[in-house]
Amino acid sequence: MSQPSLTDNYRGVFDTRLGFGSNPALLVIDFVIAYTTPGAPFFGQGVVDAVDASVALIAKARETGVPVLYTVVEYHPSGIDGGLFFKKVPSLKLFVRGEPLGAIDPKIAPHPEDIVVAKQYPSPFFGTSLASTLRAMGVDSIVLLGCSTSGCVRAAAVDGIQNGFRVIVPRECVGDRHDAPHEAALFDINAKYGDVVARAEVLDWFSRLNARAA
């Protein structure tokens, strides 16, 4: 017995769009130079491309007053705060506090007013104050930029909707080390946890919010 196509299998079950909210925040996830430096263990050209695509969107967020928050991975030199995750992925030692490859890519560096959340696990919500901070800001929607799509971005999408936020992922602005997990994660996020959209849609949304506020 042949299986239905992927599209047919998900149609009517996992194909609802939540849409945009009214008070977004931009969350830039782990865009650090470990992913954008050729030869580094985590390097991925898809991440380099996503950083480049994110420059204009971050600038638009600042222009329209949308809060911009960042996450980085940061460990104690012992790695004990990373638990079994640190043991499962030994290359995470690159993110021990003070290691140069753990720094945010300078193309999209934070501004002094931006919040930078340090985390030890894939989800930026796990063990951090992120959800409380977003609620204090009155945020109802999070726009996820960053890497990797199949890891920390997907984890952010899952925990984002579980914490009551609309999740928006501009597909050009997330990246991975390989196209296969990248595309699989985007499909999964769009089916179950948020809306995967073109960057142009998010730029237009921010412009409309700005016009309404003016």
- Cβ neighbours of residue 79 under 8 Å, at least 6 residues apart? 86, 87, 92, 93, 96
Among residues 27, 61, 152, 186, the one annotated as catalytic is 152
Q: What are the structure tokens assigned to 54, written together?
A: 């994110």
CA–chain centroid gap for 147, Å, is: 6
Handedness of CA 98, 99, 100, 102 (dihedral sign): negative
- The enclosing H or E element of 69 equals strand 68-73
Instruction: Tell me the H-state helices in the chain.
Output: 6-10, 33-36, 45-64, 83-88, 130-136, 154-162, 179-192, 199-213
Known catalytic membership, residue 173: no
- Residues tagged active-site: 152
